[in-house]
Amino acid sequence: MDKIFLEGLDFYGYHGVFPEENKLGQRFRVDLTLHAPLKKAGKSDDLKNSVNYADVYEIAKTMVEKKQFKLIEAVAEHISSEILATFSSVESCTVKVTKPNPPIAGCYQSVAVEITRGR
């Protein structure tokens, strides 16, 4: 299956189980892989036969910056649901949401969840 990648989308949001996360906010990174047939788009060179990356970006941005969830699992779930509802040509999508600086004591690079949802 053909794939579209949007990687390293950085946003600022207010997600978390701790009150300070909801008040102060923090950075989130989103990586997306969309599975969709792209042959027709490649042959026609016409955007109507593909997926508009700018629209996909706006979906991720809205979910991270304008909504509020306790869990990054919920952020990922809502992004995938909206992508599948908006783009009929997308057969499935993988959404990875990374929280680079969660309030966890210890030494680590980041925490993340990755989900794959399809029709």
Q: Output the domain CATH number for residue 92.
A: 3.30.1130.10
- pLDDT score at 1: 87
CA distance 63 to 90: 19
105 or 111, higher pLDDT? 111
pLDDT tens sequence across 23-73: 999 999 999 999 999 999 999 999 999 999 999 999 999 999 999 999 999
Q: What are the distances in angstroms from CA 11 to CA 21, 40, 64, 94, 108?
A: 14, 32, 7, 18, 20
Residue 33: which of 63, 68, 9, 67 has the closest Cα?
A: 9
**What is the pLDDT, as a whole number, of residue 105?**
86
Distance, CA of 53 to CA of 87 (rounded, Å): 11
Q: How many folded domains does the chain comprise?
A: 1
Catalytically active residues, by annotation: 99
Residue from 118, 87, 114 nearest 30 by CA: 114
Under 8 Å CB-to-CB from 79, ≥6 apart: which residues?
30, 32, 59, 60, 63, 64, 95, 97
User: What pLDDT was estimated at residue 59?
Assistant: 98
**Which residues span the domain enclosing 35?**
3-118
Reported as a pLDDT band with limits 50, 70 and 90, residue 104 is confident
pLDDT one-digit tens code per residue, 70-86 = 999 999 999 999 999 99
pLDDT over 90 (residue 93): yes
